């Protein structure tokens, strides 16, 4: 038995086989081919396999995210049959006598560059699509796996690190645990693990030869046991059963009110990253959605999501929540959430750079598309909207002016919309200090404790070397939260917490005594937080 040590970012026990995820960084080499007819046939077979994969993805997306969002896989299938694209590849193989991989990769680059240089925005967007389908065909020709997880058996996923754009594409039903060499306790992989209620470790030094081996992940003590002995397996199977029994007992809280022993009620909502997460929110009895991270619609796409694509996603969530509150955060792209087609410049300090509301206010055409989709969807449910990274009253007033334009456009088109509550994220010290004035402009505050802690303590929360200095319980943070609650309430603003601190049950009683109105947490944490609320007496 081999024991690997790391740092726990979410507790729990996972037992299963390891799958090591290696990012595909291989280059395509040019190889001279004698039998060009056989090479053309090899390309055509790979192309058909790619279409089969895309059809399977289309059918999976159809169920999870609806027809509009699934259409990209249908479009990719059609592009693979494009006559100009196919002829360019076969002509290169036949005339130059080269291997199919090189012909596909070169044609993909040529077509992508051609589309990118066009003036038409729609055609520009096809540049990423043709690159994507070419990469898929090359992988098939090279005999590489299409997906991070393409087997039937759920696995313990080991990786160097996982970017947000990679985590959103995972088949989450096949992940038992996350184990990474790098990353931090506040990374998006860690947040995803908490959302999925599965163990996660960081800082684990593992060798590639552990791939496929049987293992146990202990998310409580930060250990991975590779090829454990029978006694260790028996011990952890027993521990896993105990944890599942505790989870079952918590499930008995389903349908119970979020009310303290002294009668104080609080709203307990869920944080989600996409349409597919609604099922988990409902299963865990969330009263509503306190944070819909809309940027994942952008991270999952090869180009800017259209108004219709966004409308369908927001409408689906609103309808599925059946009248319960759904608060959509406008796109929070930038910092550690990079999207190629935004063409953002490389920044020395991206966490303090061009991100979130700053993109929206300087590129209002992107912002208005999202707002139109949100307001249209509000007709079908109880939708609120909140704006991230606010630092001033002037910003909120600019947002209101854009919202008024959007409403006027929808009115002119005869498109109905509901009564949308508007709030802001409090995640900068500036917003805390201006909260008395900001409360006069909005309906609610939602405190984003992850970034608020980062900016207040001057600590990059993505830097694992600073984990020992990162103190989310710092008195300065707690004082700021109290200030925001007090200033919000003076102006009739309700105040919630949607950052990871909201799920910290060691602070639940403190937040209740502060007067917090709402906590929005990962779906898996709703029952533990409810249990804490119901056992608290704020008068003592």
Please report, in range form, the residues annotated as the binding site: 293, 329, 427, 450-451, 461
| β-pair type (494-497, 325-329) | unpaired
Q: Report residue 523 as tokens.
A: 């779906």
Torsional class of 270: left (φ above 0), alpha (ψ -120 to 50), beta (otherwise): beta
Annotated binding site for Mg(2+): 427, 451
Measure the CA–CA gap between 14 and 236, rounded to whole angstroms. 9
Quick check: 514 and 485 in contact, CB under 8 A?
Answer: yes
Phi/psi at 259 (5° precision): -140, 135
Write phi, then psi, for 66 (nearest 5 degrees). 90, 165
Kindly report the number of other CB atoms within 10 A of residue 177's CB atom: 28
**Residues annotated in a binding site for phosphoenolpyruvate:** 293, 329, 450-451, 461
**Neighbouring C-alpha atoms within 13 Å toward the C-beta of 521:** 24
CA angle 377, 381, 382 (to 5 degrees): 110
Neighbouring CB atoms inside 10 A of 331's CB total 27
Q: Give the catalytic positions in this structure.
A: 188, 498
Those residues with Cβ within 8 angstroms of residue 225's Cβ, 6 or more apart along the chain or in another chain: 1, 2, 3, 4, 215, 216, 218, 232, 236
How far apart CA 32 and CA 149 sit, in angstroms, is: 33
CB atoms < 10 A from the CB of 256, how many? Answer: 13
Helix (H) or strand (E) holding 357: helix 357-362
Pairing status of strand 382-387 against strand 325-329: parallel
What would the two tokens of residue 493 be?
């603003």
CA–CA distance, 306 with 4 (Å, rounded to integer): 45
Q: Give buried/exposed letters for 155-165 (b at 16+ CB in 10 A, else e).
A: bbbbbebbbbb
Could you write out the DSSP letters of every residue in 296-349?
HHHHT-SSPPPHHHHHHHHHHHHHHTTTSEEEEEPP--BTTB--GGG-PPP-SS
Of the candidates 369, 370, 368, 304, the one whose C-alpha atom is nearest the C-alpha of residue 342 is 304
20 sits in which H/E element: strand 13-21
Contact 280, 286 (CB under 8 A): no
- CB contact burial 381-406 (16+ within 10 A = b; e otherwise): bbbbbbbbbbbeeebbeebeeebeeb
């Amino acid at each position: 038995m081999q024991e690997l040590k790391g740092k726990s970012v979410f507790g729990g026990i996972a037992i299963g086989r390891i799958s090591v995820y290696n990012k595909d960084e291989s280059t395509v080499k040019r190889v001279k081919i004698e039998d060009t007819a056989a090479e053309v046939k090899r390309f055509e077979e790979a192309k058909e396999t790619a279409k089969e994969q895309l059809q399977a993805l289309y059918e999976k997306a159809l169920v999870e995210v609806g027809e509009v969002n699934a259409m990209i896989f249908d479009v990719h299938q059609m592009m693979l049959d494009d006559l100009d694209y196919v002829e360019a590849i076969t002509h290169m193989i036949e005339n130059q006598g080269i291997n199919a991989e090189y012909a596909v990769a070169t044609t993909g680059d040529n077509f992508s560059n051609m589309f990118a240089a066009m003036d038409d925005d729609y055609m520009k967007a096809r540049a990423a699509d043709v690159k994507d389908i070419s990469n898929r065909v090359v992988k098939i020709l090279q005999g590489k796996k299409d997906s991070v997880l393409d087997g039937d058996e759920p696995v313990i996923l080991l990786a160097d690190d996982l970017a947000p754009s990679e985590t959103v594409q995972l088949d989450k039903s096949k992940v038992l645990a996350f184990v990474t060499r790098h990353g931090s306790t506040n990374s998006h992989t860690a947040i995803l693990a908490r959302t999925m209620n599965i163990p996660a470790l960081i800082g684990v030094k593992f060798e590639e030869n552990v791939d496929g081996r049987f293992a146990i992940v202990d998310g409580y003590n930060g250990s991975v046991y590779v090829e454990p002995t029978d006694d260790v397996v028996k011990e952890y199977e027993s521990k896993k059963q105990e944890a599942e029994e505790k989870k079952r007992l918590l499930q008995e809280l389903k349908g119970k009110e979020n009310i303290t022993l002294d009668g104080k009620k609080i709203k307990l909502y869920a944080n989600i990253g996409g349409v597919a997460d609604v099922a988990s929110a409902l299963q865990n009895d969330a009263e509503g959605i306190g944070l819909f991270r809309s940027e994942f619609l952008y991270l999952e796409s090869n180009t800017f999501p259209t108004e219709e694509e966004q409308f369908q996603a927001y409408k689906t969530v609103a309808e599925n929540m059946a009248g319960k509150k759904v608060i959509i955060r406008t796109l929070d792209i930038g910092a550690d959430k990079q999207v190629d087609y935004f063409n953002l410049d490389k920044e020395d300090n991206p966490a303090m750079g061009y991100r979130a509301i700053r993109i929206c206010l300087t590129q209002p055409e992107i912002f208005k598309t999202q707002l139109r989709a949100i307001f249209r969807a509000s007709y079908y449910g109880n939708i609120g909207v909140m704006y991230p990274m606010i630092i001033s009253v002037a910003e909120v007033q600019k947002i209101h002016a854009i919202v008024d334009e959007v409403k006027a456009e929808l009115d002119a088109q005869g498109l109905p919309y509901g009564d949308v509550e508007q709030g802001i994220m409090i995640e900068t010290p500036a917003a805390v200090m201006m909260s008395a004035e900001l409360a006069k402009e909005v309906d609610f505050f939602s405190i984003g404790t992850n970034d608020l802690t980062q900016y207040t303590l001057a600590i990059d929360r993505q830097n694992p070397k600073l984990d020992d200095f990162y103190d989310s319980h710092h008195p300065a943070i707690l004082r700021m939260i109290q200030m925001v609650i007090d200033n919000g309430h003076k102006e009739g603003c309700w105040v919630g917490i949607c950052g990871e601190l909201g799920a910290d049950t060691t602070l639940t009683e403190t937040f209740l005594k502060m007067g917090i109105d709402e906590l929005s947490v990962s779906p898996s944490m709703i029952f533990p937080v409810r249990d804490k609320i119901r056992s608290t007496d704020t008068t003592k």
